[in-house]
Amino acid sequence: MSKTIKVALAGAGAFGIKHLDGIKNIDGVEVISLISRDLDKTKEVAAKYGIGHVTTELSESLALKELDAVILCTPTQMHAEQTLACLRAGKHVQVEIPLADSLAGARAVVEEQKKTGLVAMCGHTRRFNPSHQYVHNEITAGRFNIQQMDVQTYFFRRTNTNALGQARSWTDHLLWHHAAHTVDLFAYQCGSPIVQANAIQGPIHPALGIAMDMSIQLKAANGAICTLSLSFNNDGPLGTYFRYIGDTATYLARYDDLFTGKEEKIDVSTVAVSMNGIELQDREFFAAIKEGREPNSSVAKVFACYEVLHKLEQQLNANG
Model confidence band, residue 2 (pLDDT cutoffs 50, 70, 90): low
pLDDT at site 236:
84
The percent of residues above 90 in pLDDT, for the chain, comes to 87
pLDDT at 157 over 80: no
pLDDT at 164 over 80: no
274-317 pLDDT tens trace:
999 999 999 999 999 999 999 999 999 999 999 999 999 999 99
Least confident of 147-156, 187-196, 207-216, 280-289: 207-216
At 189, which helix (H) or strand (E)? Answer: helix 180-190
pLDDT at site 123:
97
- CATH number of this structure's domain 5-124+277-298, picked from the four choices 3.40.50.720, 3.40.30.10, 3.90.1580.10, 3.30.70.3270: 3.40.50.720
The torsion angles phi and psi of 92, rounded to 5 degrees, stand at -65, 150
28-80 pLDDT tens trace:
999 999 999 999 999 999 999 999 999 999 999 999 999 999 999 999 999 99
pLDDT at 320 over 90: no
pLDDT at 168 over 80: no
pLDDT at 116 over 60: yes
Model confidence band, residue 163 (pLDDT cutoffs 50, 70, 90): low
pLDDT at site 172:
72
Model confidence band, residue 193 (pLDDT cutoffs 50, 70, 90): very high
Model confidence band, residue 173 (pLDDT cutoffs 50, 70, 90): confident
Does domain 129-271 bear CATH number 3.30.70.1110? no
The percent of residues above 70 in pLDDT, for the chain, comes to 95
pLDDT at site 170:
47
Domain boundaries, the chain: 5-124+277-298, 129-271
Q: What is the mean pLDDT of residues 210-230?
A: 96
**Comparing 207 with 98, which gets the higher pLDDT?**
98
CA distance 265 to 314: 40
Instruction: Say which residues have a Cβ less than 8 Å from residue 158's Cβ, sequence separation at least 6.
Output: 205, 212, 232, 233
Model confidence band, residue 209 (pLDDT cutoffs 50, 70, 90): confident
Burial code (b: 16+ CB inside 10 Å, e: under 16) for 271-298 equals bbebbbbbbbbbbbbbebbeeeeebbbb
Q: What is the mean pLDDT of residues 174-200?
A: 97
pLDDT at 100 over 60: yes
CA distance 63 to 212: 40
Average pLDDT along the chain = 94
Instruction: Say which residues have a Cβ less than 8 Å from residue 293's Cβ, sequence separation at least 6.
Output: none
